[in-house]
Amino acid sequence: MSRSNTRHRRSQWKATAPNLVSCERCQEPRLQHIACPNCGTYNRRQVIDV
């Protein structure tokens, strides 16, 4: 594999867009499988005191 080939391949590497969903309680966009940073709710349960 040539250097140009390796560099071309690596230039195509991209981070995948985060999976955003809106919070059930405050409708703020949040990451899937992560407690809402705005109201601290996850799976309709308060998991973080705000």
What is the binding site for Zn ion (CB under 5 A)? 23, 25-26, 36, 38-39
User: Would you call 30 exposed, middle or buried from its count of C-beta atoms within 10 A (0-12, 13-18, 19+)?
Assistant: buried
Q: How far is the CB of 12 from Zn ion (least distance, A)?
A: 36
Residue 16 identity (one-letter amino acid): T
Instruction: Return the number of the residue (6 or 19) whose C-beta is nearest Zn ion.
Output: 19
Q: How far is the CB of 30 from Zn ion (least distance, A)?
A: 6
Instruction: Return the number of the residue (8 or 25) whose C-beta is nearest Zn ion.
Output: 25
Q: Please give the Cα distance from 42 to 40 (Å, whole number).
A: 7
